[in-house]
Amino acid sequence: MSELVLLLFVALLALIVALFTVPFLRRNIVSKLALRVFRKLLPKISQTEQEALDAGSVWWEGELFSGKPDWNKLLAYPKPTLTAEEQAFLDGPVEQLCAMLNEWHITHERHDLPPEVWQFIRENRFFSLIIPKEYGGLGFSALAHSEIVMKISSRSNTAAVTVMVPNSLGPAELLLRYGTAEQKNYYLPRLANGTEIPCFALTGPEAGSDAGSIPDTGIVCRAEFNGQPDVLGIRINWEKRYITLGPVATLLGLAFRLYDPDRLLGNEKDIGITLALIPTNTPGINIGRRHFPLNGVFQNGPNSGKDVFIPMDWIIGGQDKVGQGWRMLMNSLSVGRSISLPATSVGAAKLSAWSSGAYGRVRVQFKLPVGYFEGVEEALARIAGNTYMMDAARVMTAGAVDLGEEPSVISAIVKYHLTERSRQAINDAMDIHGGKGICLGPSNYLARTYQQTPVGITVEGANILTRNMIIFGQGAIRAHPFTLREITATWDENKKRSLQAFDAALTGHALFALRNTFCSLAFGISQRLIKTIPENVTSETVDYYRQLTRFSTAFALLADVAMMKLGGTLKRRERLSARLGDVLSQLYLCSATLKRFEDDGRPTADLPFLHWSLQDALYRTQQALHEFLLNFPTGKITRCLLRFIVFPRGLRCQPPSDTLSHQVARLILAPGEARDRLTAGMYLPTDKDDPLALLQEAMASAIACEPIEARLRQAVKDKTLTTQEDEQIDQALAQGIISEGEAASLAQMKVLRRRVIMVDDFSPDLQQANHPSEKAVV
């Protein structure tokens, strides 16, 4: 009897092994069954979703999804660098432009850029950074584009947005990709030299985040146009809002849904989203009114069109491109999103780091620079650590674009995380500056950036949506090594090809999941088992590569578990999707930071920045995985099992220590190579009366005077010097406690400090200002 049971058991085992290892059996039994289940579970992907999924390319995030990132590959990507011509543009026209910008005058007095600034921007072809030289543009790299926007944004958000928008998703980008030769030859030179001011209108009152649902319509018809009878064209009606540069635009890029009820173009009645370029002086267009976006006075406003007739050759790409607008937009989105908002976010963060470090050293309370207090150190460290990591991600992502990538998932990661970290940095900077940050006026170098922060959060995919829906939702399909193959195979109409492709993808996926389960547990027990670390890294960083590999493996496993358990409903389980997206994002930000450290030549002085940002991000990664497991809808046993596989030794990552935060804060509280590298590329004014130049001078003076002040304090303690501060310098000089030169330095420092800490005040009607520089007294 027992022999029979044994035989049956062996036969069953052999059958199971055969089912999975003999291709014919596996394909026709296991995969066939699974395919049926997939067809039931997987929602059919709409054309709009398919186009979004197909857009862009997969780059480093594919490695992070693989569970075993190839770090040598990351470090072998070339270090992004500027050409001599690009550097000269930054040192020349960009510096000149920044020197012309006075954000208080722009935002409070003029409510626009001054005419000479508009003219300078046009003449120096700032609108043509992405337009190739053959069309009269500057034809710059993504890195140069990013550096230019970053520098301008550290000076004026209004100017940065004005320069950024024509170089991002808009008429130029769309023409370059899809325009007919005629359209390119006509419009690109005019856009390059500023003859045309472009804008692009997608959003309307009823379609914001859900932009694919725009209700604006175009009807194919025949009409008289420019004196010609019976021209084939489109009659469009639309209502748009929030359109940047719209009020001053001469050329409107417009998205609308095209219908052909009389079948003049073919058999389709509902042709789909279509893009056209329309001169704004075309009859029927109502444009020119402005919105007032949070005191930012970049041109932005609504526009509408009533029965506007356009000929077919105004469609971007001509008649052949009708109905392809959504795909065109999605394909173009990733490049601009990889550059513009990351650049403005880093500009704001650098301004926060630079000014908060200096102000923290100049502003004294309780007889100490406020930056020395532990509470302020915490905020300073957060600003510096965030800025270091953000800048690393900005540069690496721009570098990817320069390598020819169109990284759609990464563009969403940097859009979300850099704007959020920028928000954190500017909030911290405002706290450190206290009332100095709050009182508006020409001496306030922070408040407009603070006020403008939500703009970056809202545009190009509002942040809640981007985090909860896009990053993991798109990553899971695009960057996962097998999902897209499985989905494509599931919906392949050719049954034989569908089964074959599905079988290959499913087998690969099963082995992938097994490996990740085993490795996640093994690496959680001992990270020493991880062998895929790059060659020649230092002892300072080697453990970070190990931890990242470990989290990448756990992430790949949990991504599969989530997709298996929740299938198509994962799309609606946004909070779970957000946490997995957070893990993927932190892994990307950490990768960029390690690469930056290597590309910079491993500067020892930067190590505190590196350690702080990596430790903070690894801790966030761990917490995201932990919260995912806590909230994952499953039974207690499965949850415990998953938890054991991912965290066999518990939650071991810690946030940066107070000691490390102290070291980081000290690095930005004084001039030095690490502070300079951290804030490199932001605009530093040369006019000595500029509030930032004054702050720089006051910081140097405060530091130089600290030993002298210490001597005075000691003398007060020893009761050899009066406690009356305004008499101390003279008395100390008379008693020989300080030299004449030191007395002069102290007096000068007090003037500078006073000028820095003072804020503007106004007449009761807020019309006439008194500026601190005019009131400075010792």
Ligand X SMILES: Cc1cc2nc3c(=O)[nH]c(=O)nc-3n(C[C@H](O)[C@H](O)[C@H](O)COP(=O)(O)OP(=O)(O)OC[C@H]3O[C@@H](n4cnc5c(N)ncnc54)[C@H](O)[C@@H]3O)c2cc1C
Binding part of the chain for ligand X, among 305-313, 451-459, 480-488, 548-556 by CB under 6 A, reads 451-459
Q: What is the x/- site pattern for ligand X, positions 558-597, by CB under 6 A?
A: ----------------x-----------------------
The residue within the footprint of ligand X, chosen from 132, 189, 208, 311 (CB under 6 A), is 208
How many binding residues for ligand X (CB under 6 A)? Answer: 21
Binding part of the chain for ligand X, among 64-72, 203-211, 517-525, 596-604 by CB under 6 A, reads 203-211
Cα separations (Å) of 24 from 21, 30, 34, 506? 9, 10, 15, 14
Under the binding rule (CB under 6 A), the answer on residue 469 touching ligand X is yes
User: Based on CB atoms, which residue is closest to ligand X, 298 or 632?
Assistant: 298
Cα–Cα distance for residue pair 216/319, rounded to 1 Å: 19
Q: Which two tokens stand for residue 502?
A: 């599905």
| In the complex, least distance from residue 456 CB atom to ligand X, rounded to whole angstroms | 9
Cα–Cα distance for residue pair 338/414, rounded to 1 Å: 7
Cα separations (Å) of 495 from 26, 183, 277? 16, 43, 43
| In the complex, least distance from residue 200 CB atom to ligand X, rounded to whole angstroms | 5
| Contact between 323 and 260 (Cβ < 8 Å) | no
Binding part of the chain for ligand X, among 189-197, 463-471, 507-515, 647-655 by CB under 6 A, reads 463-471
User: Based on CB atoms, which residue is closest to ligand X, 242 or 445?
Assistant: 242
| In the complex, least distance from residue 245 CB atom to ligand X, rounded to whole angstroms | 7
Binding part of the chain for ligand X, among 81-89, 120-128, 373-381, 464-472 by CB under 6 A, reads 464-472
DSSP for 199-216 reads EEE---SS-SS-GGG---
Under the binding rule (CB under 6 A), the answer on residue 180 touching ligand X is no
Give 316: exposed, middle or buried? Use CB within 10 Å, 0-12, 13-18, 19+.
buried
Q: For strand 217-225 and strand 198-201, is the pairing parallel, antiparallel, or unpaired?
A: unpaired
One-letter amino acid identity for 278? I
User: Based on CB atoms, which residue is closest to ligand X, 335 or 757?
Assistant: 335
Inter-helix orientation angle 607-631/542-566, to 10°? 20
Residues 314, 197, 176, CA angle at the centre, nearest 5°? 55
User: Based on CB atoms, which residue is closest to ligand X, 141 or 300?
Assistant: 300
Alpha helices in 291-407 (DSSP H): 325-362, 374-402
Cα–Cα distance for residue pair 311/182, rounded to 1 Å: 14
Give 368: exposed, middle or buried? Use CB within 10 Å, 0-12, 13-18, 19+.
exposed
Cα–Cα distance for residue pair 734/731, rounded to 1 Å: 5
Residues between 221 and 280 with contacts to ligand X, criterion CB under 6 A: 242-244
Cα separations (Å) of 651 from 272, 548, 562, 618, 647? 50, 15, 21, 11, 6
| Contact between 686 and 99 (Cβ < 8 Å) | yes
| In the complex, least distance from residue 239 CB atom to ligand X, rounded to whole angstroms | 12
| In the complex, least distance from residue 302 CB atom to ligand X, rounded to whole angstroms | 11
Q: Which two tokens stand for residue 570?
A: 């994962």
Torsion of CA 500, 501, 505, 507, to 10 degrees: 10
User: Based on CB atoms, which residue is closest to ligand X, 243 or 729?
Assistant: 243
Identify the three-state secondary structure at position 239. Answer: strand
Cα–Cα distance for residue pair 434/437, rounded to 1 Å: 6
Q: 460, 486, 697, 742: which one is catalytic?
A: 460
Binding part of the chain for ligand X, among 31-39, 262-270, 452-460, 683-691 by CB under 6 A, reads 452-460
Binding part of the chain for ligand X, among 113-121, 301-309, 465-473, 754-762 by CB under 6 A, reads 465-473
Q: In 3D, which of 118, 102, 158, 104 has the Cα closest to residue 452?
A: 158
Residue position matching structure tokens 């603070």: 450
One-letter amino acid identity for 739? S
| Contact between 437 and 450 (Cβ < 8 Å) | yes
User: Based on CB atoms, which residue is closest to ligand X, 276 or 695?
Assistant: 276
Q: Which residue, judged by CB position, is nearest to ligand X in the bound state? A: 208
User: Based on CB atoms, which residue is closest to ligand X, 148 or 469?
Assistant: 469
| In the complex, least distance from residue 187 CB atom to ligand X, rounded to whole angstroms | 18
| In the complex, least distance from residue 287 CB atom to ligand X, rounded to whole angstroms | 13
User: Based on CB atoms, which residue is closest to ligand X, 462 or 484?
Assistant: 462
User: Based on CB atoms, which residue is closest to ligand X, 574 or 598?
Assistant: 574
Q: What is the x/- site pattern for ligand X, positions 734-773, by CB under 6 A?
A: ----------------------------------------
The residue within the footprint of ligand X, chosen from 458, 500, 527, 722 (CB under 6 A), is 458
Binding part of the chain for ligand X, among 198-206, 270-278, 482-490, 758-766 by CB under 6 A, reads 198-206
One-letter amino acid identity for 698? A
SS3 string of 319-341?
HHHCCCHHHHHHHHHHHHHHHHH
The residue within the footprint of ligand X, chosen from 117, 172, 201, 429 (CB under 6 A), is 201
The residue within the footprint of ligand X, chosen from 107, 303, 355, 468 (CB under 6 A), is 468
| In the complex, least distance from residue 243 CB atom to ligand X, rounded to whole angstroms | 5
DSSP for 600-650 reads TT--GGGHHHHHHHHHHHHHHHHHHHHHHHHH--S-HHHHHHHHHHH-TT-
Under the binding rule (CB under 6 A), the answer on residue 541 touching ligand X is no
| In the complex, least distance from residue 203 CB atom to ligand X, rounded to whole angstroms | 3
The residue within the footprint of ligand X, chosen from 82, 265, 312, 464 (CB under 6 A), is 464
> Is position 460 annotated as part of the catalytic site?
yes
| Contact between 216 and 259 (Cβ < 8 Å) | no
Inter-helix orientation angle 408-433/447-458, to 10°? 150
The residue within the footprint of ligand X, chosen from 203, 334, 386, 585 (CB under 6 A), is 203
| In the complex, least distance from residue 470 CB atom to ligand X, rounded to whole angstroms | 9
The residue within the footprint of ligand X, chosen from 252, 412, 455, 479 (CB under 6 A), is 455
User: Based on CB atoms, which residue is closest to ligand X, 462 or 747?
Assistant: 462
User: Based on CB atoms, which residue is closest to ligand X, 439 or 462?
Assistant: 462
Cα–Cα distance for residue pair 734/745, rounded to 1 Å: 16
The residue within the footprint of ligand X, chosen from 38, 71, 127, 200 (CB under 6 A), is 200
The residue within the footprint of ligand X, chosen from 202, 410, 446, 702 (CB under 6 A), is 202
User: Based on CB atoms, which residue is closest to ligand X, 202 or 563?
Assistant: 202
Binding part of the chain for ligand X, among 28-36, 149-157, 199-207, 765-773 by CB under 6 A, reads 199-207
Under the binding rule (CB under 6 A), the answer on residue 300 touching ligand X is yes
Under the binding rule (CB under 6 A), the answer on residue 465 touching ligand X is yes
DSSP for 539-575 reads TTTHHHHHHHHHHHHHHHHHHHHHHHHHGGGGGT-HH
Binding part of the chain for ligand X, among 11-19, 275-283, 369-377, 461-469 by CB under 6 A, reads 461-469
User: Based on CB atoms, which residue is closest to ligand X, 466 or 622?
Assistant: 466
| In the complex, least distance from residue 254 CB atom to ligand X, rounded to whole angstroms | 10
| In the complex, least distance from residue 216 CB atom to ligand X, rounded to whole angstroms | 11
Residues that bind ligand X (CB under 6 A): 199-203, 208-209, 242-244, 293, 300, 455, 458-459, 462, 464-465, 468-469, 574
Give the residue numbers annotated as catalytic, written as ranges. 460
